[in-house]
Amino acid sequence: MKFAVMGAGGVGAYFGGLLAQKGHEVTLIARGEHLKALQENGLTVHSVHGDFQLPLKAVADPQEVGLVDVVLFTTKGFDIKKTTEQILPILKEDSMVLNLQNGVGNEEIMAEVVGKERVLGGLTYIETTIEAPGIIAQKSAKRDIIFGEMDGQITERAKQLLSVFQEAGIPTVLSGNIQKDIWKKFMFISSFSAITTITELPAGDVWACEKTDQLFCKLLKEVKHVARANGIELSDEDVEVAYQIGHNFAPTTKSSMLVDFERRKPIEVDSLSGAVVKYGKKANVETPYHEMVYGVLTLKASKF
């Protein structure tokens, strides 16, 4: 299959690299020093699942890619509409655009640009980052993709993509209710990013303190109420599963938002705690915990 990775950083270059290793034609769309290093030295991956190095086509301008079967969409959740417009020249009538960003509502924005029939929803549980230009550090045992058609249909094209991912060694689930799965990840990641970034500490430290451990639960429950008020039936069991997912990551695990915060880079707080607040307001649900996090982190990030 012919793939393009829009925003080939921690997530995109890692999965793109695994697909290329299996013989798929993969082009990474990147920029800056990272792009320069990819072009000069190829992609280097340091991973707990095995290191690898391979030459890969990397470009700044999607126009240089040609038409593709699948776009993996892995930029940060800033200005999604504008970024989606950039991939228009590489889409065929039947191309798929698979979103793997954190956050809710992204697929709807993408659909407005490329047409809803092309967009698949998705999410990933993985800890991975650009360690240095051209070099990805993939740190977690977990590296799962969950994806599906936005209307829940199990289609032939989705089954084909599932096989491609699985053959590339990526633990992947094809979901019949991706909207709910995206909200489950959103509940987990908005709360995990909030508690780790506000404390500036990795998972193990947060769980070791009873007060911050409980705050994580309160953040999760707040998102559950917001989800339900917006028609997504998350349950107490989903909260418990999200709590366990957090606790099953290694104690050293940092959210990608904390990593960006430490690097003094823009953080995705608008699309995480900010989105909890936004969807809460929409449905008349109070969100004091996420509202506090949103305010504090917005202020701190404005000082970078």
Ligand X SMILES: NC(=O)C1=CN([C@@H]2O[C@H](COP(=O)(O)OP(=O)(O)OC[C@H]3O[C@@H](n4cnc5c(N)ncnc54)[C@H](OP(=O)(O)O)[C@@H]3O)[C@@H](O)[C@H]2O)C=CC1
Ligand Y SMILES: CC(C)(CO)C(=O)C(=O)O
Nearer to ligand X, 79 or 286 (CB): 79
Q: Which stretch binds ligand X (CB under 6 A): 27-35, 196-204, 221-229, 296-304?
A: 27-35
Binding residue for ligand X (CB under 6 A) from 47, 128, 175, 196?
128
Tokens of 90: 């590489």
Which of ligand Y, ligand X, none does residue 11 bind to, with CB < 5 to 8 Å depending on kind? ligand X
Binding residue for ligand X (CB under 6 A) from 124, 190, 196, 287?
124
Which of ligand X, ligand Y, none does residue 7 bind to, with CB < 5 to 8 Å depending on kind? ligand X
Nearer to ligand X, 253 or 287 (CB): 253
Applying CB under 6 A, the site for ligand Y has a residue count of 8
Which of ligand X, ligand Y, none does residue 192 bind to, with CB < 5 to 8 Å depending on kind? ligand Y
Site residues for ligand Y, 114-133, by CB under 6 A, read: 125-127
Which of ligand X, ligand Y, none does residue 101 bind to, with CB < 5 to 8 Å depending on kind? ligand X
Nearer to ligand X, 35 or 111 (CB): 35
Which of ligand Y, ligand X, none does residue 77 bind to, with CB < 5 to 8 Å depending on kind? ligand X
Binding residue for ligand X (CB under 6 A) from 4, 10, 187, 242?
10
Closest CA to 50 of 1, 13, 10, 14: 14
Enumerate the β-bridge partners of residue 125: 144
The reply to whether 122 sits near ligand X by the rule CB under 6 A is no
Binding residue for ligand Y (CB under 6 A) from 6, 29, 189, 297?
189
Binding to ligand X by CB under 6 A, coded x per residue (else -) over 233-272, reads: -----------------------x-----------x----
Residue 207's alpha-carbon distances to 185, 243, 251, 269, in angstroms, are 19, 10, 8, 22
Closest CA to 292 of 239, 189, 222: 222
Q: Which stretch binds ligand X (CB under 6 A): 6-14, 90-98, 157-165, 204-212?
A: 6-14
At its nearest, how many Å lie between ligand X and the CB of residue 284?
28
Positions that interact with ligand X (CB under 6 A): 7, 9-12, 29-32, 34, 74-77, 83, 86, 100-102, 124, 126-130, 256, 268
